Amino acid sequence: MAENSALLKYFPTELPADVAPGLPSQQRRYLIDGRIEEWKGPMIEVYSPVCVQKDNSVEPVYLGSAPAMDEETAMRALDAAVRAWDRGNGLWPRLSAEQRIQAVHAFTKRMEERREEIVRWIVFEIGKPRSEAEKEFDRTTEYIRDTLNAVKEGARSTARFTVEQGILAQIRRAPLGVVLCMGPFNYPLNETFATFIPALVMGNTVLFKPPKNGILLYGPLLEAMAECFPPGVVNTVYGDGPVVIPPVMRSGKVDVLAFIGSSRVADQLKKEHPHPHKLRAILGMGAKNAAILLPDVKIESVIDECLRGALSYNGQRCTALKIFFVPRDKGEQFVEAFREKMASLSVGMPYLDGVQITPLPIEGKSQYLQGLVEDAVSQGAVAYGGGYLGPLFLPAILYPVKKGMKAYEEEQFGPVVPVVPYDDPEEALDWIVESHYGQQASLFGEDPAQVAHFVDELVHQVCRVNLNSQCQRGPDVFPFTGRKGSAEGTLSVSDALRAFSIRTLVAAKENDANRALLRKITEERLSSFISTDFLF
Ligand code: G3H
Give the number of the atom of ligand 1 that is nearest the alpha carbon of residue 471: 7
Name the closest-CA residue to atom 7, ligand 1.
472
Residue pair 348/216 in contact (Cβ under 8 Å)? The answer is no
Q: Could you tell me the distance, in angstroms and rounded to a whole number, from the CA of residue 93 to the centre of ligand 1? A: 31
Give the number of the atom of ligand 1 that is nearest the alpha carbon of residue 191: 4
Give the number of the atom of ligand 1 that is nearest the alpha carbon of residue 474: 8
Mean pLDDT to the nearest integer, 221-235: 98
For residue 476, pLDDT over 80 is answered with yes
Name the closest-CA residue to atom 6, ligand 1.
473
Name the closest-CA residue to atom 2, ligand 1.
318
Residue to substitute in 135, 313, 319, 462 for testing ligand 1 pocket (most ligand atoms within 8 angstroms of CB): 319
Q: Could you tell me the distance, in angstroms and rounded to a whole number, from the CA of residue 274 to the centre of ligand 1? A: 32
Residue 25: per-residue pLDDT: 97
How far is 323 from 398, CA to CA, in rounded Å?
10
**pLDDT tens-digit readout, 392-422:** 999 999 999 999 999 999 999 999 999 999 9
Torsion of CA 208, 209, 214, 219, to 10 degrees: 60
SS (H, E, C) 18-29: CCCCCCCEECCE
Q: What DSSP line would sit under 87-150, residue for residue?
A: GGTSHHHHS-HHHHHHHHHHHHHHHHHTHHHHHHHHHHHH---HHHHHHHHHHHHHHHHHHHHH
Q: Which residues line ligand 1 (CB under 6 A)?
A: 186-187, 191, 317-319, 472-474
Mean pLDDT to the nearest integer, 508-529: 96
Residue 288: per-residue pLDDT: 98
Give the number of the atom of ligand 1 that is nearest the alpha carbon of residue 473: 7
For residue 258, pLDDT over 90 is answered with yes
What pTM does this model have?
0.96
For residue 62, pLDDT over 90 is answered with yes
Helix (H) or strand (E) holding 433, with range, is: helix 426-434
Residue 1: per-residue pLDDT: 67
Whole-number average pLDDT of the chain = 97
Residue 44: per-residue pLDDT: 97
How far is 208 from 93, CA to CA, in rounded Å?
17
**pLDDT tens-digit readout, 317-350:** 999 999 999 999 999 999 999 999 999 999 999 9
Residue 308: per-residue pLDDT: 98
Please return the burial class of 184, using the count of CB atoms within 10 Å of its CB with bins 0-12, 13-18 and 19+.
buried
Residue 2: per-residue pLDDT: 84
Instruction: Tell me the residue ranges of DSSP E strands in 395-445.
Output: 396-399, 416-422, 437-438, 440-444
Residue 60: per-residue pLDDT: 98
Q: Could you tell me the distance, in angstroms and rounded to a whole number, from the CA of residue 318 to the centre of ligand 1? A: 6
Residue 422: per-residue pLDDT: 98
Q: Could you tell me the distance, in angstroms and rounded to a whole number, from the CA of residue 187 to the centre of ligand 1? A: 8
Name the closest-CA residue to atom 4, ligand 1.
473
